Amino acid sequence: MFKQICENLYLGDKDSRPKKTNFEIIVADELFITNSNNKKSSYTLIDDKIYFDFYSFSVDINQVRLIVEFMFKKIKTHCIYIHCVFGVNRSPFITFVFLVKYNYLVESTYKKALAKFKQIYPFMGIGFTFLKFIKKYYPFSNL
């Protein structure tokens, strides 16, 4: 399952990459691939894919910043597919933060923004850790 979120951005699960996309962002610790030189890093870039070692039980603001900034740079020249394993928690969370931070989704409160995002992507199931992050940092201008 996947859904187009905006121009050049698709969101879904690990098995549904649309053919028209030419860059994949993976935000799942289960799918993380370490880099070949064994340097400790929270991400690995391989060809047309970037893997982020992203957990659902703890959210690092610096890692969220890194991912959404990377998305912002790539979306200008690439058609992106972002996913975690099932496309329900981690990748929708990152996509939501991206959309709000870069004004693709503008609402006065995080509750209104989440409701609007769920209209766009109804598969989102927001976990407690992510909801806590959203409440604390919305509208993400400090990222």
Rounded distance between C-alpha atoms, residue 27 and residue 38, angstroms:
19
For the chain, 143 residues long, give each residue's pLDDT as a single digit of tens.
899 999 999 999 999 999 999 999 999 988 887 655 555 578 888 899 998 988 877 899 999 999 999 999 999 999 999 999 999 999 999 999 999 999 999 999 999 999 999 999 999 998 899 999 999 999 999 99
pLDDT value of residue 54: 85
pLDDT value of residue 24: 96
pLDDT value of residue 8: 97
pLDDT value of residue 61: 94
Rounded distance between C-alpha atoms, residue 143 and residue 141, angstroms:
6
pLDDT value of residue 36: 57
Q: Is the whole model's pTM more than 0.85, yes or no?
A: yes
pLDDT value of residue 67: 95
CATH 3.90.190.10 fits 2-137, yes or no: yes
Kindly write down the DSSP assignment for every residue of 100-138, as one continuous string. HHTTSS--SSHHHHHHHHHHH-TT----HHHHHHHHHHT
Phi-psi region of 65 (alpha: psi -120 to 50; beta: other; left: phi over 0): alpha
pLDDT value of residue 55: 80
